[in-house]
Amino acid sequence: MSPIVKLLAQRIALSLLLLLLISVVIFAGTIVLPGDVAQSILGQSATPEALANLRAELGVNDPPVQRYFAWLFGAMQGDLGTALTSGQDIAQALSSRFWNTLFLAFWAAVVAVPLAIFLGLLAVRFKDRWPDKMISAVTLASISIPEFLIGYVLMYFIAVKLRWFPSVAMVNDSMGLFDKLNAIALPIAVLTLVVLAHMMRMTRAAILNVMQSAYIETAELKGLNAFQVIYRHAFPNAIAPIVNVVMLNLAYLVVGVVVIEVVFVYPGMGQYLVDHVSKRDVPVVQACGLIFAAVYIGLNMIADIVAILSNPRLRHPK
Amino acid sequence: MSDTLLKVRDLKIGATIYPPGERPRDIEIVHGVSFDLAPGKVLGLIGESGAGKSTIGLASMAYGRGGVKITGGEVWVNGRDILKGGHKDIRKLRGAEVTYVSQSAAASFNPAKKIMDQVVEAAVEQKKFSRKDAEARARVLFAKLGLPDPDNIGERYPHQVSGGQLQRCMTALALCPEPDLVVFDEPTTALDVTTQIDVLMAIKEAIRDTGVAALYITHDLAVVAQVSDDIMVLRMGNTVEYGNVDQIINNPQEEYTKALVSVRSIEHEEKAPTEEPVLSVRNITARYKGTQFDVLHNVNVDLYPGQTLAVVGESGSGKSTLARVITGLLPPREGEIEFAGRTLSPDLKGRTREDLRELQMIYQMADVAMNPRQTVGTIIGRPLEFYFGMRGAEKKKRIIELLDEIELGEKFMDRYPAELSGGQKQRVCIARSLAAKPKMIICDEVTSALDPLVADGILKLLLDLQKIEDVAYLFITHDLATVRAISDNIAVMYQGKVQRYGGKSKVLSPPFDDYTDLLLSSVPEMKLGWLEEVIAHRKMESAGN
């Protein structure tokens, strides 16, 4: 087996192992949480007998190990159980919300990733001159302000004052793509501002690091102009760190949009999770946790795979 | 085309330095240098580090490395003063009229791109050739430079070819756009001596066949004597002497040039082994963890008290691995190390403090072997505390004694490593190892990073200290001149085996085995026409076989 296949196989196996461990942690974490789902369904006036009956019916009295494996095998077959509070099938309820979250994250990434890399390249090209400093200052400022504040400020000026885009990002299946994009324009803008700085600064640092190399001098001495030097010779060698930070931010876009979804009343997974945490609906919390973990691990795995593949020494062994 | 291809007049180059704790200030590093280069001729720029030779070479492409700026003078290429041109004019010059070959091809090739893409890039970008023609030309150059499989080697990535091959690829890269001038910046310095001779010959033939002019920059006068028509000797940014190669080598006028020509003048009489050896390496076979092959095969050598054993070999010969085995950093698979009458634990962890004290080490890179945040006094004082428990006045007295022994003196006690020159740093490292009063010191390429005159001083110091302290040296080096200068016994290593071993006079006298013969005959000699003689001799021999 060639070394690169072995490395990739190891990396994927590691991801799966990690996901399994996380599933244990999520499951264990949710059963030690305080609170009683039966109590929250039946309310404060429920009799002890009614509570006991409901608990037996919901299966919360079974041994934890047995419940874990039942849950795990179910999850592996796409069955995430039923929500305790509403009796709904979780997988079904989640799927449309999951796609909504991915939809928002995807379009935020489409705007933010190329913009961040372009700004990073621009900052390298004009290193220590005013464009570099301005890009750094603006992106740092935007990352330093809490995202809900940016959200409300944009909402006030762009949605309320200028009336360019709606303030509430309601989407449903009957809307066309353009209508949907129009609806989520503001959340996309906020998310872009939040993740831009991190990616842009990492791009800048990674490329500047490569720019110290002797082969950059060789490229300059070939008479190439500054942009040719950067994108032909520096960028290919900076891909691994850049992809790493991009993936980390994509994961954040999927997992960390809870606040933005709540601010803009967007029907995504984050809002669904928040609703059910407050209702002590353990299976929903477990399912959301597992999906978030899978997305996070998956994206980071992709980053590592790209890093392995972008290394010419591994791709073309001697 | 005019008579002079490159005309440099009163070139002044400056840089901004950032001394710690002070304001940045501008200094001048080249003080008004002038020379001419006719088409098809080779000018050798020679000097020690800091002489400004690379800086002058790059100035002929209007390039300043790092914060270096050209502050005055004129650089005329093909009848145009390139310093007066704008960015666009300069870009048209680079990679088209003037090209560059750097010291380390391994670092100067982009690891992410195929060799061919990089070799033809300048020629295509500068619209000298179409991509197809440039590739055809590159393949011709690969063949001319003696690269294996010239039709396909361009499809490889830089890490897939050897260092010597990559250096030739870099030469092909420089010659591909049909430039008028190539700047060779120490192109063979990083190569093994047996590889250097082939690359040198390839470069020389390529220069002759293409009729290109060259600036050949090196610190090695013997090398530059083989390829140049004229030589300019530089020192600290000034011209010391400028003349044709015959005059500089055979009739140098200036004291400094004479010193460069006659460097490596150390004489050391071989001592006969008398007592019991202080170190006996017995049947050592070793391999690195996780690898499948041995890097040392059944190595046996002895080192006698107060004497020097030189271990000589090229990169990959196993000489540094031998040092790792002796110091316990790499426990061997087989064999044992006897030291001062006892058998040492194969693993560092099993060695006593006395073992550690009596076996010291000095490294190639003096500046990374010292803590930059400690003063010289602290650095030398540490082994005195650690091994002898010295404190206060007693320790200070011993530190000053040691500083006097290494010819630096008390005033260096409170200085930091960053304030020392390369040679001074190495002296401090020597003092630190002597502070432990060792029976033996392993010197791993201790002079390789130093300029020849400075290295000479270090070798003299080591020989003097050997007489005073009666310490034995295991001297690891790739440089045969160094070996001649200081050794009593020599072990020639090749591919993990001791190829030849014995007293200096015996090892360095014929009859030789094939490898030792190749190694010895590859060392450049300060003699015009040496390169041609050796190559002709080898061709004759291989024809005879």
- Measured between CB atoms, which of B65, B111, B125 is closest to A224? B125
Give A-chain residues touching B112 at CB under 8 angstroms.
236-237, 310, 312
- The most confident of the ranges A51-60, A193-202, B19-28, B117-126 is B117-126
- Return the number of CB contacts < 8 Å for A and B: 76
B181 — pLDDT class (breaks 50, 70, 90)? very high
d(CA A116, CA A223): 28
Q: How many helices (H) and strands (E) does chain B have?
A: 20, 20
B15, B347, B436, B449 from B351: Cα distances, Å: 50, 7, 16, 31
d(CA B149, CA B162): 13
Q: Do A219 and B112 touch (CB under 8 A)?
A: no
Higher local confidence (pLDDT), B412 or A94: B412
In degrees and rounded to multiples of 5, residue B338 shows phi and psi of: -100, 135
Angle at B133 between CA B130 and CA B138, to 5 degrees: 120
**Domain membership flag for residue A7:** no
Of A54-58, A105-109, B132-136, the one with minimum mean pLDDT is A54-58
Q: Do B94 and A214 touch (CB under 8 A)?
A: no
B1 — pLDDT class (breaks 50, 70, 90)? very low
- Measured between CB atoms, which of B96, B110, B113 is closest to A223? B96
A178-189 burial: b if 16+ Cβ within 10 Å, else e: eebebbbbbbbb
**Domain membership flag for residue A135:** yes
Angle at A100 between CA A95 and CA A102, to 5 degrees: 95
Considering chain A, what percentage of its residues have pLDDT values greater than 90? 6
- Provide the pLDDT for residue A245: 85
B20 — pLDDT class (breaks 50, 70, 90)? low
Considering chain B, what percentage of its residues have pLDDT values greater than 90? 42
- Is B112 in the A-facing interface, judged by CB distances under 8 Å? yes
Average pLDDT over residues A4-10: 87
- Measured between CB atoms, which of B92, B108, B160 is closest to A223? B92
In degrees and rounded to multiples of 5, residue B273 shows phi and psi of: -65, 125
**Domain membership flag for residue A146:** yes
- Measured between CB atoms, which of A223, A313, A316 is closest to B94? A223
Could you tell me the two tokens for A303? 């980053």
Higher local confidence (pLDDT), A186 or B435: B435
Higher local confidence (pLDDT), B351 or A48: B351
Residue whose C-alpha is closest to residue B465's, from B419, B496, B497, B434: B434
Could you tell me the two tokens for A157? 């000026």
Q: Do A215 and B107 touch (CB under 8 A)?
A: yes
pLDDT, one tens digit per residue, over B58-114 is 999 988 887 788 898 899 998 888 888 888 888 889 989 999 998 888 889 999 899
Which residue do the tokens 């070939």 mark? Answer: A222
B511 upstream amide cis, omega within 30 of 0: yes
Nearest Cα of chain B lies from the Cα of A308 at a distance, in angstroms, of 13
**Domain membership flag for residue A184:** yes
**Domain membership flag for residue A256:** yes
d(CA B465, CA B516): 30
d(CA A260, CA A168): 11
Average pLDDT over residues A60-71: 78
Q: Does residue A58 surpass a pLDDT of 80? A: no
Amino acid, single-letter form, for residue A126: F
Q: Do B121 and A237 touch (CB under 8 A)?
A: no
Q: Do A220 and B63 touch (CB under 8 A)?
A: yes
Strands B69-77 and B80-81: antiparallel
Per-chain mean pLDDT for chain B: 88
- Is B94 in the A-facing interface, judged by CB distances under 8 Å? yes
Task: Tell me the three-class secondary structure of B109-161, residue by residue.
Answer: CCCCCCHHHHHHHHHHHCCCCCHHHHHHHHHHHHHHCCCCCCCCHHHCCHHHC
Asked if B307 contacts B369 with a C-beta cutoff of 8 angstroms, the reply is: no
Asked if A284 contacts A90 with a C-beta cutoff of 8 angstroms, the reply is: yes
- Provide the pLDDT for residue A170: 73
Give A-chain residues touching B126 at CB under 8 angstroms.
222-223
Asked if B138 contacts B124 with a C-beta cutoff of 8 angstroms, the reply is: no
- Provide the pLDDT for residue A309: 86
- Provide the pLDDT for residue B326: 93
Average pLDDT over residues A84-94: 77
Which CATH number covers residue A204?
1.10.3720.10
d(CA B148, CA B417): 45
Average pLDDT over residues A133-140: 87
Q: Does residue B269 surpass a pLDDT of 70? A: yes
Give B-chain residues touching A221 at CB under 8 angstroms.
61, 63, 94-95, 99-100
Q: Could you report the predicted ipTM of this complex, rounded to two decimals?
A: 0.77
Residue whose C-alpha is closest to residue B232's, from B63, B28, B15, B57: B57
**Domain membership flag for residue A3:** no
- Is B327 in the A-facing interface, judged by CB distances under 8 Å? no
Of A27-36, B28-37, B146-155, B411-420, the one with minimum mean pLDDT is A27-36
* List of long-range contacts for A218-222, beta carbons under 8 Å, 24+ apart: A218/B100, A218/B102, A218/B108, A218/B109, A218/B110, A218/B118, A218/B173, A219/B110, A219/B121, A220/B63, A220/B94, A221/B61, A221/B63, A221/B94, A221/B95, A221/B99, A221/B100, A222/B94, A222/B95, A222/B99, A222/B121, A222/B122, A222/B125, A222/B126
Average pLDDT over residues B427-442: 93
- Provide the pLDDT for residue A279: 76
Asked if A233 contacts A216 with a C-beta cutoff of 8 angstroms, the reply is: yes
Q: What is the CA radius of gyration of chain A?
A: 24
- Measured between CB atoms, which of A213, A225, A318 is closest to B160? A318
- Provide the pLDDT for residue B232: 94
- Is A215 in the B-facing interface, judged by CB distances under 8 Å? yes
B399-436 burial: b if 16+ Cβ within 10 Å, else e: bbebbebbebeeebbeebbeebebbbbbbbbbbbbbbb
**Domain membership flag for residue A85:** no
- Provide the pLDDT for residue B398: 93
Q: Look up the domain containing A177 and give its range.
A: 102-280
B268, B500, B524 from B511: Cα distances, Å: 22, 11, 20
Nearest Cα of chain B lies from the Cα of A229 at a distance, in angstroms, of 11
pLDDT, one tens digit per residue, over A238-248 is 888 888 888 88
B394 — pLDDT class (breaks 50, 70, 90)? very high
Residue whose C-alpha is closest to residue B444's, from B477, B490, B482, B468: B477
Q: Does residue A34 surpass a pLDDT of 70? A: no
User: For A240, which residue in chain B has the nearest alpha carbon?
Assistant: B112
Nearest Cα of chain A lies from the Cα of B141 at a distance, in angstroms, of 18
- Measured between CB atoms, which of B65, B91, B95 is closest to A217? B65
Give B-chain residues touching A220 at CB under 8 angstroms.
63, 94
Q: Do B63 and A221 touch (CB under 8 A)?
A: yes
Of A28-32, A109-113, A218-222, B425-429, the one with minimum mean pLDDT is A28-32
- Is A6 in the B-facing interface, judged by CB distances under 8 Å? no
**Domain membership flag for residue A78:** no
Q: Does residue B264 surpass a pLDDT of 70? A: no
- DSSP state for residue A85 in the 8-state scheme: T
B133 CB contacts (<8 Å, ≥6 apart)? none
Considering chain B, what percentage of its residues have pLDDT values greater than 70? 98
A270, B280, B408, B544 from B310: Cα distances, Å: 71, 14, 27, 34
User: For A233, which residue in chain B has the nearest alpha carbon?
Assistant: B110
Q: Do B125 and A213 touch (CB under 8 A)?
A: no
Q: Do A215 and B99 touch (CB under 8 A)?
A: no
- Is A228 in the B-facing interface, judged by CB distances under 8 Å? yes
Q: Looking at the 3D structure of chain A, how many domains does it have? A: 1
- Is B289 in the A-facing interface, judged by CB distances under 8 Å? no
Per-chain mean pLDDT for chain A: 83
Residue whose C-alpha is closest to residue A196's, from A113, A76, A94, A89: A113
Higher local confidence (pLDDT), B300 or A33: B300
- Measured between CB atoms, which of B104, B111, B126 is closest to A223? B126
